[in-house]
Amino acid sequence: MSDSEVLVEEAGNVAVITINRPRARNAVNGAVARGIAAALDELDARSDISAYVLTGAGGTFCAGMDLKGFLSGDFPVVEGRGFGGLAEAPPKKPLVAAVEGYALAGGFELALSCDVIVASEEAKFGLPEPKRGLVAGAGGVMRLPRRIPYHVAMEIALTGDHYPAARLYELGLVNRITPAGGALETALELTRKIAANAPLALAATKKVIIESQDWSLEEMFTKQGAIVGPVFGSKDAMEGAAAFAEKRAPNWKGE
């Protein structure tokens, strides 16, 4: 295993971003935050990578902010991207979380910053910040009640307790449950399925889903049109139609 705090591995048009601090349960320090931000900046700018997986090394997704680093002034925040180099500015392309072990505090918030969550049956989620005199300010207390019922979100956020992946699967927050050790493999299968689609269409679809939550009925189709219009006029749109007519796999260019 490399000494780098963040590892990036490419598999075709999919990239796997791994938080690599297993001895610290992949707690996020400044180096991890900067590493994730740098990886996303580079990958978002590339046309040959269509989707990503975010995971953690050593059987744990992420135990949250490195509190020892916090006490020494090492804040895991990147300007413009927020906590973990991700929470305030998720990538334009689809991002799938592969969760083993713990996704706690900032770790849960990183998972909530992803578009899809795959978790091991042994995974545990929670926002224990109040137990440490803190608040889940990296999106946890804002995103969670938008994803699951209000009173359940309140319980999770106010108790600070750990909740099993099976419970969050029941609530629709977790997309897939796998046997222990299988989260990454299943996440990769799902990410490859996503990445087989046209890159421009994927990015536009994600953007509309996220931004349309605040659109009024009067403006929603106008705002959607501004995002999806260029996709319908793209070379990939023509390629998709031609591939369907010719009964072959499309050759996407991201143009």
Active site residues per annotation: 109, 129
The neighbouring-strand residues paired with 62 are 103
**Helix or strand run (H / E) with residue 191:** helix 183-195
Q: What does the alpha-carbon distance between residue 202 and residue 94 come to, in Å, rounded to a whole number?
A: 7
Of 176, 159, 52, which Cα lies nearest the Cα of 104?
159
Distance CA 44, CA 63 (A): 26
Contacts of 121 (CB under 8 A, 6+ apart): 164, 165, 166, 177, 178, 179, 180
Token readout for 185 is: 């493999």
Relative to beta strand 95-99, strand 51-56 is: parallel
> Which DSSP symbol is given to 175?
S
> Is residue 198 within 8 Å of 240, Cβ to Cβ?
yes
* Separation of alpha carbons 67 and 73, rounded Å: 10
